[in-house]
Amino acid sequence: MADGIVIPDPRDGAGKAGRAPEPLPDPDDDDYPPLYRSRQKIFPKAVSGFFRRLKWQIMGVTLAVYYLTPWIRWDRGDGAPDQAVLIDLANRRFYFFWIEIWPQEFYYVAGLLIMAGIGLFLVTSAVGRAWCGYFCPQTVWTDLFMFVERRIEGDRNAQIRLDKAPWTPRKVWLRTLKHATWLGIAFATGGAWIFYFADAPSLFVDFWTGQAAGVAYATVAILTFTTYTLGGLMREQVCTYMCPWPRIQGAMLDENSLIVTYNDWRGEPRSKHRKKAAASGEKVGDCIDCMACVNVCPVGIDIRKGQQLECITCALCIDACDAMMEKVDLPKGLISYSTLHDYELGVAGRGDERPTVWKRIFRPRTLIYAGAWAAIGLFMLLSLTVRDRIDVNVIHDRNPVFVTLSDGSIRNGYTVKILNMVNEPRTFQIRVEDLPGAHLAFAGGEAVSGISSGEDLDGPFLRVEVDPDRLRSVRIVVTMPREALEAERTEFTWVAFEEHWEYGFRPETSRAEGAFFAPEGTGE
Amino acid sequence: MAEDHKIETDEISGTRTTGHEWDGIKELDTPMPRWWLTVFYACIVWAVGYCIAYPAWPLISSYTTGVLGYSSRAEVIETVAEHKAGQAQFRDRIAAASMEEIRAEQDLFEFALASGASAYAVNCSTCHGAGAAGGNGYPNLNDDAWIWGGTIDDIHYTITHGIRNDTDEARVSEMPAFGELEILDDAQIESVTQFVLSLSGSPHDATLAGDGAVLYEENCAACHGEQGEGYPELGAPNLADQIWLFGGTPEAIAAQIHKPRQGVMPAWGPKLDEATIKELAVYVHALGGGQ
């Protein structure tokens, strides 16, 4: 638990056997057990150093990626959106640069999620909770909100003074300014989100002229609210109480995972008056108990109590402590990124034997994670490059299952759906395999544009032109002479392939299983 | 049994009791969490607002309509009207186009197929079956045997005017009841039956069929054709194919010669609009047997 949370234990006080009964507690009393715990206010102090610089840089990159990605253009030709990253819900397409994903190819997205999961395991086992400390949107936006807060209200001490001060016009002004800026950032955050779902430039114009869809405004409103609430008001409470990841971390970390560690074997016993204490012969550690590590902590914990659930390993306490150690002329690294193993070596006085960073990162566990992660990624990449952009689905008529024609032959009807998944019109040939003697025709004839039939040495075929990036459904009837049928059910294969192809060694092809049904007693 | 006890403070939790006790179990007066109360009050406020804005309270013969004037019934009417308006562009074109034009344009054709399928389900499936496979006495619309012609215009006419109904344009044909009117006696009917079976290559008695050939020539060939090929203009079915509207057994054929059953189909022209009839014709024609 975080420092400072003290739950009064009534067993210490009222009602012990043998004592005189105490007066009933009054709910309005200050001593009455709290029914609702309000947030412990945290005023993190500004800090500078290596990790702070790293965090600023990562914040810049991640925010830039978030805000700019929808504006990247990508030419896909006529009739297709020219936005590099677009989730087109209305047309059910996902565009990512050169990749286009249809809803039935959602397994690629599932693969990405699995990669994200394994990637988190990999990062956690190698460098601890780096995700929490540097990359998590909650961390990035909270950091941004804190930056705004410091620019407006001042650093830690000024913030504390302002918080305690009565509501003077200055305080009202500063608080209004702060919350307005936060809301502005939150609005921009929600505003950027919708651009992933529609053409960004036109949506931008529509949005500001009141022409955008209601759902766009609602999305912006909701995300503005959540960003403002989570980043501005709730902050570390999200990480401590709401997020499941810190709980999972407990199972992911091992003795070789980097965590922010207070090296108490070096720091304890701590003393505010080191020199005086040392002079009087007391044993003193390096910790000068300056509270710098506590004051800069964005989640309000004291790292000197050891590894804690709340710690997001942002390492700002390392920056703060190193700066102090430098001032008092002691070696840096009293608080450091260390593994449990390092720490134990330190306790044993064998700090020199610490393995190198490389040895720590390249160990079987991380290599297995990295291998699994890369294997899934490579497999998906490979399958993306060789996947066919045609798909065929065939549904046999349910009623009637077969039709007897006037000459006694048997006819089955099928609904054939052909997906042309590229942005140009293509012509496909549809044939049947393993059904000798079959006659193929379009139900309703060939008067409709874009369909025709033909025959070559390989047998009869039907030709279907499909518009760019579209599905076309045709109804096909297959007729078999009665004497050619050997059973009530004959299995065969539908084959659809591109008639003229430009790239590769073979036309793009899709197959589907088919079955031909005949009246009872056929083949007997 | 709840008994009234005095309010006291619970030793474990430090919370007051309500003073109620059941068999020694005392009830704590634990106040609601603040967030819960907030949500509860917010729900009350919401409910009051909802009652003002939307239909809420039943009255004797009506109900409070709410200031927004919302009504789910009106919404349905509006939605149906919207969809009708959305379909109008297709239906207007279909009403104006010829059958061949409808079949040649992909968007019209696909709309007509879908729209025809639902019109079929509502109006036609009662007799012809959900899959249009028909039944004894009700023609199968999937096959290639058409008593009154299987071109799309023939089908359109049949749907519009029907068969053997009271309208003037209805398709009408009547086969005499050869047995009941005593034109043929039972032995002759049996001979003709065997000959009719022979026309389609079905198992038959060759001797009787030989006798029947002369009777067929005299009595039946005028409508059904010399070889039993049928005559769609007269609505005379093909007797040489494998499809039998009233059954292909000798008994069924003989019964039909003795006293024919003659199917009736209503005229849909007065009941459905032109676009719907055209859509139905496209759908039936595209079931697979259309000529």
Q: Give A189-252 as a DSSP string.
A: HHHHHHTTSS-HHHHHHHHHTT-S-HHHHHHHHHHHHHHIIIIIIITHHIIIII-SHHHHHHHH
Contacts 24+ apart (CB under 8 A), B260-264: B260/B175, B260/B176, B260/B177, B261/B137, B262/B164, B262/B173, B262/B174, B262/B175, B263/B137, B263/B138, B263/B139, B263/B163, B263/B164, B264/B162, B264/B163, B264/B164, B264/B165
Is the torsion defined by CA of B50, B51, B55, B58 positive or negative? Answer: positive
The ranges assigned to domains in chain B are 2-53, 74-163+266-285, 186-258
Q: Give the model's pLDDT for residue A45.
A: 92
Q: For residues A141 and A231, is the Cβ–Cβ distance under 8 A?
A: yes
Tell whether the model's pLDDT for residue B146 goes beyond 90.
yes
What are the beta bridge partners of residue A468?
none
C-alpha to C-alpha distance for B95 and B82, rounded to whole angstroms: 19
Mutate to test the interface with A, among B9, B100, B151, B279 (most CBs of A within 10 A): B9
The average confidence (pLDDT) of chain B is 91
Q: Is A425 on the interface with B (CB under 8 A)?
A: no
B33/A36 touch (CB, cutoff 8 Å), yes or no: yes
Homologous superfamily, domain B74-163+266-285: Cytochrome c-like domain (1.10.760.10)
Q: What is the pLDDT of residues B36-86, one digit of tens each?
A: 888 999 999 999 999 999 999 999 999 999 999 899 999 999 999 999 999
Backbone angles phi, psi at A455, to 5 degrees: -150, 140
B182 phi, psi to nearest 5 deg: 60, 35
Of A399, A400, A444, the CB nearest to B290: A444
What angle separates helix B250-258 from helix B186-199, to the nearest 10 degrees? 120
Greatest CA separation for chain A: 117
Q: What's chain A's Rg over C-alpha atoms?
A: 34
Chain A residues with CB inside 8 Å of B8's CB? Answer: 24
Core vs surface per residue B74-89: b (16+ CB within 10 A) or e: eeeeeeeeeeeeeeee
Contact B10 A407 (CB under 8 A): no
Tell me if chain B has a CB within 8 Å of the CB of A15: yes
Domain boundary (A249, A284, A316) is at A249
pLDDT at A28: 66
Question: Does some domain include residue A434?
Answer: yes
Q: Report in angstroms the alpha-carbon separations of A195 from A189, A216, A228, B63.
A: 11, 9, 19, 44
**B186-258 belongs to CATH 1.10.760.10:** yes
Residue listed under structure tokens 């109620």:
B20
Answer yes or no: is A395 within a domain. yes
pLDDT for the residue numbered A284:
82
**Chain A 435-464, CB below 8 Å of chain B: which residues?**
443-445, 447-450
A to B CB pairs, distance under 8 Å = 110
Neighbours of A13 (CB within 10 A): 13
Alpha helices in B200-229 (DSSP H): 206-219, 221-224
Asked if A411 reaches chain B (Cβ–Cβ under 8 Å), the answer is yes
What DSSP state is assigned to residue B68?
Answer: T
- Of B111, B38, B143, which is closest to residue B283 (Cα–Cα)? B111
Q: Would the CB atoms of A404 and B33 count as touching at under 8 Å?
A: no
Element at A160 (helix H, strand E): helix A156-164
Instruction: Choose the final residue of a domain: A226, A249, A272.
Output: A249
Tell if the CB–CB gap between B11 and A411 is shorter than 8 Å.
no
Residue A20 within any structural domain of the chain: no
pLDDT of residue A13: 44
Model pLDDT, residue A399: 86
How high is the pLDDT of residue A255?
82
What is the distance between the alpha carbons of residues A469 and A352, in angstroms, rounded to a whole number?
Answer: 63
In a domain, A385, yes or no: no
Residue B103 has pLDDT above 70, yes or no: yes
Residue range of the domain that includes A488: 390-517
Counting as low any pLDDT under 70, the low residues of chain A are 1-39
Q: Note whether B265 and B169 are within 8 A (CB).
A: no
Residues B103 and B113 sit within 8 Å (Cβ to Cβ): no
Model pLDDT, residue B33: 77
- Number of compact structural domains in chain A: 2
Mutation for A interface: B142, B147, B279, most A CBs within 10 A:
B142
- Best of B144, B153, B283 to substitute, by most chain A Cβ atoms within 10 angstroms, is B144
B219 vs A254, residue with greater confidence? B219
Strands B2-4, A451-456: pairing is unpaired
Q: Which residues contact A501 (CB under 8 A, 6 or more apart)?
A: A507, A508
- Specify the higher pLDDT residue, B202 or A2: B202
Contact A480, A523 (CB under 8 A): no
CA–CA separation, A221 and A206 (whole Å): 16
Residue type, B195: F
Residues in chain A: 524
Does any CB of chain B come closer than 8 Å to the CB of residue A404?
A: yes
Subunit contact A445:B11, Cβ cutoff 8 A: no
Name the interface residues of B facing A (CB cutoff 8 Å): 7-16, 31-35, 100, 103-106, 109-110, 113, 129-133, 140, 142-145, 238, 241-243, 282, 285-290
Contact with chain B for residue A34, Cβ under 8 A = no
> What secondary structure letter does DSSP report for B171?
B
User: Is A25 part of a structural domain of the chain?
Assistant: no
